[in-house]
Chain A
Amino acid sequence: MPIFIIILTLLLATVCSFYLGKNIRRLEKIVIFSAIIELITAGYVFFSFITWGQINFEPLFSLNAIGVLFFCLIALIGSTASLYSIGYLRVEMAKGIITVSQIRIFYILTHLFLLAMFVAISANNPVLAWIAIEATTLSTAFLICFYKKPTAIEAAWKYLIVNSVGLLLGFLGTMLFVALALKGVGTNAWLSWQMILDNAKNMDPNIAKLAFIFVLLGYGTKMGLVPMHTWLPDAHSKAPVPVSSLLSGVLLSVAFFLILKFKAVVDIAVGQNFSQSLLIFFGILSIIVSALIILRQKNYKRLLAYSSIEHMGIAALGFGFGGFGQFAALLHIFYHGLAKTILFLSAGNIFLKYGSTKIKNVSGALQALPVTGRLFIVGFLAIVGLPPFGIFFTEFYVFSAGIKAHPVLVCIAIFALILVFAGFLKQISAMILGKKSADIPVGEANAWTYVPIIILVIIFVGLSLFLPDQLKTLINLAVAQ
């Protein structure tokens, strides 16, 4: 039922935004309404699951522990980014950068984007999940080229082509798994994830391996794993900031969610070693490449985009190492989603103030934006994994899980993280602590641009210092499944 409430709310929000037209206040009210419903529904899903277990609306939808975790993450980040976009778009419209029609399109596509992600997480069938993931590409392509600049169009084109090829490979892998499972079930059946899992032990191991490779390449492209990451920095840097935060904070994780679903199947079919080796390979590669690029990055939105690749690499590494690393990796994804949204939304305020995403054009952000500057620093400290923030602990646990079996890889990863810290410190300190130019006025744009970030910071810091038992139980269940 809660899944249908979300789907219905976002569909209604899309249709209303389309028909109610150019009345900005009405469009904003729809955004606020849908954000509130998302949060309430996510809360209901979380506590219902903790109390009663599996949430089903079969045959179409079903949520297990890992699904509930990602459902809550999408709701939390989705609603925060949506609320932030109200203030952000108001400023851009006041500056004459965008028109009312563009704002309407923005809200319509954002509602559809969120809808597609919720469906992908809740879908009880891998092909339905694939259709939803493909829908995320279609809904975000126009959001990436929202400003219609040549660079934005180029980034969106790259995004469309690379992701479409990637997702078609993912589709091929999905269909191979479906073919293997259908052999045990009989043709023309509605295949639930559970049915695929139940048939996994009878699958041909060679085809299962081949299928997982295609799935990993396909959804790995969407997740931004190196070397399939090429679209990510361009798309993240050209999209409007609320969209960048959604792409980075949740979309990458949603793609990883699907990889994990198939990992569970292939692990039964051929044993854990196969998928773990692949995840370790792509994970370490992603960490190393992103660390080297972060060191010499000149654009702060691209810097954050490469940081997302690095963190997806750490999450992949956690699942590659197995054991307690999986618990840490899931928690890492959750923390990363929150921290990266804080950083992207703060970066949005910096962009509104300075009108540039180049690091050399931004200095004295702490003076110019007293609230945002502080929030940005918190985000920076969190994302580089300094204590007492949650990412420090999850990275620590991921590496502890792998130190015995893969000491060299862990050392390389830690060295790469030191490089990331150095790179971030060099770039961020120049932006935040430098002296502000006299022509930059002091002050925040409006409350919508910082209150949602403050709420996220409170949640993030709270969850870093104290992890509720319910959340621990949920993640433990997710790992067990």
Chain B
Amino acid sequence: MMWAGVLVACASCYVLKLAGLSLPTRVLQDPRVQRTVPLVPVALLAALVATQTFSTGHHLVLDVRAAALAAAVVAVLLRAPFLVVVASAAVTAALLRLV
């Protein structure tokens, strides 16, 4: 099941890329498409940040991951590179679990 999901997702992403290069420009130049598509990643990434920080299964929780996210926010504000942002969150969570 995992493999099927992985491969279908890979195929979908490839078709989207190919569609951009292949479809007649008027389809994708529709102002509604132009305006809406860039908003989708903003909303989805924000929803991913929220759900993966403040929930476990179907429960809303506040645990060390919130502190880890706060560390990541500080790293982002300091314009740290991607890997440093991710590492700062992981290290914060690991250290807080030790105490």
A, B in one complex: no
